[in-house]
Amino acid sequence: MEEKFDQAVTHSLKYYVYGLIDPRIDGPIEKIFYIGKGVGNRVFSHLEGETAPSEMSLKMDRISEIRQAGCEPEVTIIAHDLNEKDALRLEAQLIGIIDGLTNIVGGHYGRDFWLSARSIRERYGTPINVEQIEGPILFVSLNGGPDLAPYPEIADDSDELKRRTLGDWTIGEKNSEQVRFIVGCYAQLARCVYRVDGQGFGRLPGEKRHAKGRSRWRGGYRDLAYEKKILERIIVGRDGRQLTKFGRTPWNFSV
């Protein structure tokens, strides 16, 4: 196995995108069998068996196969000196175009790359009018912020996605009582739907003396049937205002 990077190297690398290579194959692209994003010595964790159970299977089988043939997998740093978001986006782009990879999923941003013309039309063509779907609905932003990861980084974490969507929102108590669905949005598109009808909400005190209280829904479940109708679509209000797009306030409410 290759020697790990020392502290000076990892400091200069920052976030990076890497590939695991099968040295038995000659093609410059064909020999890559796994694409990943990392920081520090993440790239070497696969070769030491320090990966999570969900990352096992095809990738670890390939590593075992290479070693049984008397070889050792190699690593290549495809790009470095990146921030985490750019590394995730590049990872998703590469996974979408390299054949024969052992990656189980398409990366955090996989849903936003290599879309068909039909998918693009559906996303950004005629938006859905809120009158066509059941309500009342609270649309909330999952775009992230200084201390919050954007939607692609929590999309596969069901607990965190639910916590962030049901969240702590500064919507008034009267409107909170009416909410039946909460739609999590990212990059101006609907990404997830939680039904909170009858689940109730709690009021949290404002952090400042004159701050408005915040509402946090205590229950709710992901409504996949509803979600399928609006997934990755723009939704507009009766006045044509885009409800899946946010300004200074990270939520929009529609009755």
pLDDT in tens, 64-82: 999 999 999 999 999 999 9
Average pLDDT along the chain: 88
Q: Extract the runs of DSSP E, i.e. beta strands, from the chain.
A: 15-21, 32-38, 74-82, 128-129, 137-141, 181-186, 189-195, 201-204, 214-217, 221-222, 235-236, 251-254
The CA distance from 188 to 192, in Å, is 12
Mean pLDDT over 109-119 rounds to: 80
Q: Positive or negative, the Cα torsion across 174, 228, 91, 19?
A: positive
Q: What's the predicted TM-score (pTM) here?
A: 0.68
Does 110 have pLDDT greater than 80? no
Does 20 have pLDDT greater than 70? yes
Give domain limits for the chain: 7-112, 126-254
- Percent over 70 (pLDDT), the chain: 93
The CA distance from 100 to 210, in Å, is 58
- Provide the pLDDT confidence category of residue 206 given band limits of 50, 70 and 90: low
Class of domain 7-112: alpha beta
Strand 137-141 and strand 128-129: pairing? Answer: unpaired
Does 48 have pLDDT greater than 60? yes
Mean pLDDT over 156-182 rounds to: 92
The reported pLDDT for the residue numbered 141 is: 97
Q: What torsion, rounded to 10 degrees, do the Cα atoms 12, 107, 150, 89 define?
A: 50
Does 210 have pLDDT greater than 70? no
The reported pLDDT for the residue numbered 54 is: 46
The reported pLDDT for the residue numbered 53 is: 46
